[in-house]
Structure 1
Amino acid sequence: MVSSSSSSSSSFFSFSFFFVLLLLHSCTAHNLPKFSAILIFGDSTVDTGNNNFIPTIFRANHAPYGREFPGHVATGRFSDGKLVPDLVASALGIKDLVPPFLDPHLSNEELKTGANFASAGSGYDDLTSVVSNVIPVSRQLLLFEEYLLRLNLIVGPIEAKQIINDALVTISAGSNDFLFSFYDIPSRKLEYDVYGYQDFLQGKLQDFIKKLISLGCRKFLVAGVPPFGCLPFQITEQSLNLTESSRGCLEKENRDARVYNFKLVRLLKKIQDSNPGVKVVYLNIYDPFIDMIDHPQKYGFVETKKGCCGSGLLEAGPICNAFTKPCANASQYLFWDSIHPGEEAYRVISQFVMENALPSFLS
């Protein structure tokens, strides 16, 4: 049983941490670049609800997802609250929430400031999306082309071109490719070793960025992969001993993530150098994520080895539902379910984006 003084201390810490974030935001907001719109591509870490509108079981439009979201609504975001695109778009003054493009009620006014094309469960490798029937990153390009047609009709081709030129294009994917197509279901292991598969994925990413450039995009924020060896689901699946004391990050998988990110930095520099007038910024997700795991007390977390939903060891998507009781205080958990961070962790990542990545667009 938690004492009242302990509970009050925890609440005070959470409030203080959030207050510090607000202060940091107010200090950096004036030094942030200006963007006309925000365009999001990727997987469940950035999907704000597109999977609600396609025939897949990879959805989060049910309780207890959205428990901390305004109105306590399960919107399809794989979290208890908002995602990084929402928090960053709000900090930049673009919009409070980034809507999914497939929402049939998406207004013309919303389209002017961007939309989200991401799909939970997707990756750069089309094979990753086959079983789950979600939208791979390559097909998200088709949604973007549809968006362009609609934007041209709304504001005209000249203004539409300017909006796209000045939009912040965020791309975040790759983890599902390793988890679904290489480690857990080793389909690609028949063709590649891990280093070859990294190169295969980054070739797909390079082609994707080139196509977006040809369509007028000029400002790219490209995320690396997190330490996916620390995901509770992955630890559970790969570990034979599931006792609390023995659970820990899988170093081999984290090493693969670091190598992938090292290669990605080089690739993005190559793309940058080959395309004058285009700005490509690398977003280091790995370091702030691992810091939250290694030093949870800095952020007010007390649990980093399992998610808040149910047992926190396996529940995610359809099996994180109304019958799997979540923890009482999600802000103390790094992970909301066994795969996805909670809103508090996303706030830390968002602050990192604003302080360490977005200023690069000013240079």
Structure 2
Amino acid sequence: MVPALVVFGDSIMDPGNNNAIHTIVKANFPPYGHDFGPDHRPTGRFSNGKIPTDFLASRLGLKDLLPAYLAPDLTSHDLLTGVSFASGGTGYDPLTAQLASAISMTDQLRMFDDYKQKVRAAAGDAALSDILAKGIFVVCTGSNDVTNTYFTLRARSSYSHASYASFVVAHAAAFLDGLLSAGARHVAVIGLPPVGCMPSQRTLSGGMARDCSPGPNEIAEMVNAGMGSAVDSLKANNPGAKVVLVDMYGFFMDMMVRPQGYGFRESTLGCCGTGMMEVSVLCNGVTSAVCGVIADYLFWDSYHPTEKAYGILVDFVYDEYLQKLIE
């Protein structure tokens, strides 16, 4: 029995932490939440409905929704069954969080220390020890480093593709080392997807045909390769821990290239507005109409998948990787 799910990362895993901070990277307004719950409420989740954290918590038998750690109504039960510290716009590169005014990965680790104190106060040392020893810890970020910091904003333009990939991996390894030092024993690290095939990247640098952009995909593949070596080193240095690198690149690429095989019709545009660039504040209830049949779309906005797509991705991640952590 897994006692808790604890998540770190970016907007893919943020159930609303950014609602509580000063940033424009938010999703707590329509049409976000278009299909969330009976009241279709925008909660800060970057999708039309549930996000991976919710599907994972449900698959683990913990609860239907994983709350944001900064949610104002967080209960002791919420703490004991798990939370997400993820913040939309963040990345492994410390500059990425600064540029987006998001919660850095370093600060997410500090929040985890605060969380541990709250668990101890609420339920005692034994409960905290159980969460650390048997809980599932998921880390998912890195896409913003490549798409925003490196390519769109060119804030690391002095780096080659290979040197930036190495830079990102070094920061990822440092974060994971800190998480293991903080007591986590079952850690799943989600590798980067083919970020160059996101609708926004197709629009920005995919040419007239809006093909997948090769540069972002090249760095993503380099980061994933480097993460493999980093995870091997972490496992060697922490023999009591289980760390698994989740390779979702090929699976997600197949969804984008062969959407019909997964029940989708459109994989190059988001459902929100034109589907070419709208995300966060640009995907809003005033200027952005929602597509006709949301279930036909792989992407909700120009960066984030739909609830349906997230469900398919989580089933793959859970069946292929997470079950090995639980055994």
Residue 327 of structure 1 aligns to a residue in which SS? coil
Aligned mates of 1:122, 1:359 — CA distance in 2: 27
Alignment of 1:197-208 (within 5 A): 197-208=164-175
Aligned mates of 1:218, 1:235 — CA distance in 2: 38
Residue 259 of structure 1 aligns to a residue in which SS? helix
1:361 aligns with 325
Aligned mates of 2:204, 2:211 — CA distance in 1: 12
Choose the corresponding residue for 1:101, options 63, 66, 69: 69
Task: State the number of aligned residues.
Answer: 325
Q: Does 1:212 align with 2:175?
A: no
2:283 aligns with 320
1:344 aligns with 308
1:272 aligns with 235
Choose the corresponding residue for 1:305, options 268, 278, 285: 268
Aligned mates of 2:177, 2:274 — CA distance in 1: 43
Q: Does 1:284 align with 2:250?
A: no
Q: 5+ residue gaps in structure 2?
A: none
- 1:188-243 CA-to-partner distances (Å, cap 9, x unmatched) read 122x21211111111111111111112211000000001000011111122452xx
The root-mean-square deviation of aligned C-alpha atoms, in Å, is 1.2
Task: Kindly state the Cα deviation for residue 167 of structure 1 after the two structures are TM-superposed.
Answer: 1.0
Q: Does 1:260 align with 2:223?
A: yes
Q: Does 1:88 align with 2:52?
A: no
Does the 8 Å contact 2:206/2:212 carry over to 1?
no
Paired AA for residue 283 in structure 1: V
Choose the corresponding residue for 2:27, options 60, 63, 68: 60
Paired AA for residue 332 in structure 1: D
Task: Kindly state the Cα deviation for residue 150 of structure 1 after the two structures are TM-superposed.
Answer: 0.5
Alignment of 1:85-234 (within 5 A): 85-190=53-158, 192-234=159-201
Aligned mates of 1:236, 1:123 — CA distance in 2: 22
Aligned mates of 2:198, 2:230 — CA distance in 1: 26
Paired AA for residue 117 in structure 1: F
State the percentage of identical aligned residues: 38
Task: Kindly state the Cα deviation for residue 327 of structure 1 after the two structures are TM-superposed.
Answer: 0.4
- 1:298-357 CA-to-partner distances (Å, cap 9, x unmatched) read 111111111000000011000100021010211110100011111111011111012101
Structure 1 range deviating more: 327-336 or 265-274: 265-274
CA shift in 2, pair 1:256/1:131, >3 Å: closer
Paired AA for residue 118 in structure 1: A
Residue 319 of structure 2 aligns to a residue in which SS? helix
Aligned mates of 2:217, 2:87 — CA distance in 1: 24
Does the 8 Å contact 2:298/2:309 carry over to 1?
yes
State the structure with more CA Rg.
1
Paired AA for residue 44 in structure 2: G
Normalising by structure 1, we get a TM-score of: 0.87
Q: 5+ residue gaps in structure 1?
A: 1-33
Paired AA for residue 59 in structure 1: K
Task: Kindly state the Cα deviation for residue 256 of structure 1 after the two structures are TM-superposed.
Answer: 2.1
Does the 8 Å contact 2:31/2:283 carry over to 1?
yes
Aligned mates of 1:236, 1:181 — CA distance in 2: 17
Paired AA for residue 250 in structure 2: D
Task: Kindly state the Cα deviation for residue 97 of structure 1 after the two structures are TM-superposed.
Answer: 0.6
1:294 aligns with 257
Task: Kindly state the Cα deviation for residue 37 of structure 1 after the two structures are TM-superposed.
Answer: 0.3
- 1:69-103 CA-to-partner distances (Å, cap 9, x unmatched) read 11211110000011111101101101111000001
